Amino acid sequence: MFHIISSLIYKICPSELIFYIIPTVFGILATLMFYKLSQELFDKSSTVLISTFLFTVTPSILTRTSVFIPESMGIFLFISICYFIVKYVKTIPNYDELSKFKFDDYFNIFHGNLKYLIYGLLILCIYIFTHRSWIFLALIVIILLIIFLLPSFKEKPLLISLILGLVLVIIYIFVTLVGRFQQEAVTLLGFPKWIGIITLILGTYGLLYFLKSQNTIHKLISLWAIVFMLIGTYSFRFRDPYSAIPLIIISAYILSEKIIPYIKKSSLLDKYEILGINFGKYWKYSIIIFLLLIPLVQGSLINYTSINQPTESQILIFDWLKNNTEEDTIIMSNKDDAYLLIGNTHRKDVVLWKTVYQGFLGNAPSKKETKEVQEDISLLFATEQNNEIYYLLEKYNASYIYISQELYNTESNGIITQAAIDTHYTTAIATKDSTIYKYNKNPPISTQSSLEYQSPNAEYNKTISFIEKFWNGYAYSDIGKKKYNDEATLFEFETTYKGDYSLNAQIAALYKSISNGNDSLNQRADYLISWLNYKQMPNGSFLYSFPPEEYSLETMNTIYNLKDINSTNSLEIKDKGLNFIKQVSGKNYVKINSNSKESFENGYVAMKTYSQICGMNSDDNKNLMSKLIDLQKRDGSFTNEAYQNVEILKGMCLYYNKTHDDIILTHIKKGAEWLNSNQNVDGKFISDGSVEDYGINHYADTALIYYTINDTNNLNKTLKYIEKQNIEQDINPLKSYLTLINNLNMIYDDENIAFVNSNILI
């Protein structure tokens, strides 16, 4: 009914303002009806006003009458029916003397003015087709009927117990069968947040007064509050806002009849004089005003913070969609994400469009269609069967897929991870917060099987056999054991994001270098370079991390690994990548990613980025390297973690190897001294407590540092420690293995020695 009314209004006045005005109008109507309800409950006008005031500032009521949802109309209907129920009960003879309702007199409850029941039933007919909260109203009516039975308990205890038991069973079965009621425990902190601190405290305190009353309505309000608060610990639907309503009524009574009169009569501040002027009465009014300001401030703040505003990153995504897609474009997204997506882009999604908008703007779908769409979208974001994903995207004619931060945080894989490698998807825009992928039904690059290669060189065979374990059909990706929340740890160890572009560039370069004219190795290397060119962002960047972002270090790593390959695709990748590095670089800074600030930020992620980009791209970066060494501590360290110092010093080593700057060499030596002091005699870092802390790649980079400063003893110590390690237990085995090969090649300047030394890991 809410949607029908709204649709009619929208057709008469097709403006987006309608969707803001309609819930507000229903909120005002609900407030007016609550005022009328309070007038029936209280004789004093001050109590009526306080009650209505508390209703208007209750957080859960505020939020639900601020949003374009059926419940905004439902609350108005709920309060209206409550008003007529109270009006009817007050016309029942002796309603305020519950003890007079013995078993034989029970049906006197139907001797009230029936017109109020008729009015209530007429509204209920609309309510049933508006929002499912009419079920809460039905439960309240059942509580009322039970209250009239209570006086008969002493007279017929067994019969009344059976009736009550039967009613409870019916209620349980009914609530269990009703769909869409959350059935998980909720935090108790939700009560003060959504009901309001003052209302919760005073309402709970005042329950005793109402429970003791022989007035049927008072008893109803108290039992209503108790039952809904108890069930509200299990399902927030009972708490927000339906347990708040009786607590508002009770707390208004306590404020108006107990607390405010007590403050006014209190003699504590009667003679509070300053400079001969008695401020006592002003203090009393200040206390009263303060008590009323608390719910006002809390309600306003909760309502404001509950508004689901898009982040800056999401706005970038939405603006891109508006500027780069046609109006009839269909975007596949999770239902929860679709609200902001549709509202901010004026584009269609699949599930929300089917369940909400299609009924407004076209032919309403059947229940079967709606259910099918919901199931399909749930499957699309959960399945790991690529053909299922392709089928569903084509079934609903979706051109783009929107992946939000919330989806990235789930444990599901499927399209969320596959999009990084699968050539059916190109990344349109990624902002770390959200990502848009474009679906390509017939991609120019297809999947390939694992490489089958045999060489007279046994070490080559071992190496290629190990690398091929990580082939996923489109590229190579590490195992990605776990996710991390800490930025530095995520930056260093995260491999859940399968699009490891720098790693694939390194493999392409390796295969080219050892191919010796072998077609299969050359073809795989060329394929990887084509794949990298296809996956490179239009601005030249490569994505990294999970959720992905345009990271400058990942981009630099990728193009650096391709430095010795001069094919058409490789040159294009390098040119575009260097242009991106120039865009995010300045004289005194390098952005960590495309959306970070243009400043030299302290912290490991920043220092590693600056150090290694300077090392791989040493031209004109002397100022930046000078700023980096200024952050080095007196003991030679940059941070407290050994692996972090290793990666910062590695960048400085690469920089020194190109520039031969003696000042940089001095600082590398200081850093190496700190590393040595943090290694055991066997070469293991003191802080290396588990495979999650360090990878073999960190020890390989440590060996490179010792080699750079010509520290043979510590170099050999570190290499001997590496020889004892098991690559299978490494946090990122493929990355570690390739880093070791690369560094050993630099140390020994002999490709074959590198493979001989690496065979211990296979």
Mean pLDDT across 708-728: 91
Q: How much is the pTM?
A: 0.75
- Which stretch of 404-418, 479-493, 728-742 has the lowest confidence by average pLDDT? 479-493
Report the percent of the chain where pLDDT is more than 90: 45
Contacts 24+ apart (CB under 8 A), 287-294: 287/263, 288/260, 288/263, 291/198, 291/255, 291/259, 292/50, 292/53, 294/197, 294/198
Rounded distance between C-alpha atoms, residue 660 and residue 671, angstroms:
17
Contact by Cβ (8 Å): 508, 528? yes
Identify which of 30-39, 211-220, 337-346 has the greatest average pLDDT.
30-39
pLDDT of residue 694 exceeding 90: no
Q: Quick one: tokens of 556?
A: 């630099």
Mean pLDDT across 164-183: 64
The alpha carbon of residue 550 and the mean position of all alpha carbons in its chain are separated, in whole angstroms, by 20
Confidence of residue 691 (pLDDT cuts 50, 70, 90): very low
pLDDT in tens, 383-398: 888 899 999 999 999 9
Report the percent of the chain where pLDDT is more than 70: 90
Confidence of residue 368 (pLDDT cuts 50, 70, 90): confident
Domains 312-439 and 457-599 alike in fold: no
Confidence of residue 57 (pLDDT cuts 50, 70, 90): very high
What b-and-e string marks burial along 154-171, b requiring 16 or more CB atoms within 10 Å of the CB?
Answer: eeeeeebeeeeeeeeeeb
Residue 76: how many other CB atoms lie within 10 Å: 25
Contact by Cβ (8 Å): 314, 433? yes
Rg over alpha carbons for the chain, rounded to the nearest Å, is 35
pLDDT of residue 654 exceeding 90: yes
pLDDT of residue 246 exceeding 80: yes
Mean pLDDT across 650-674: 94
Mean pLDDT across 223-245: 84
Mean pLDDT across 219-235: 86
| Right CATH for 312-439 from 3.40.50, 3.30.1360, 2.60.40, 3.40.1130 | 3.40.50
pLDDT at 689: 65
pLDDT at 205: 92
> What residues pair up with 359 in beta bridges, in sequence order?
none
pLDDT of residue 360 exceeding 70: no
Residue 428 sits at φ, ψ, to 5 deg, of: -80, -45
pLDDT of residue 508 exceeding 60: yes
| Between 403 and 495, residue with greater pLDDT | 403
pLDDT at 179: 45
Residue 577: closest CA among 550, 598, 547, 546:
550
Kindly list the domain boundaries of the chain, sorted by start residue.
2-305, 312-439, 457-599
Cα-based distances in Å from 271 to 116, 279, 491:
52, 8, 66
Q: How many CA atoms lie within 13 A of 257 on its CB side?
A: 17
Q: At what angle do helices 197-212 and 216-232 cross, to 10 degrees?
A: 130
- Which stretch of 509-518, 616-625, 752-761 has the lowest confidence by average pLDDT? 752-761
Q: Which CATH class is domain 457-599?
A: mainly alpha
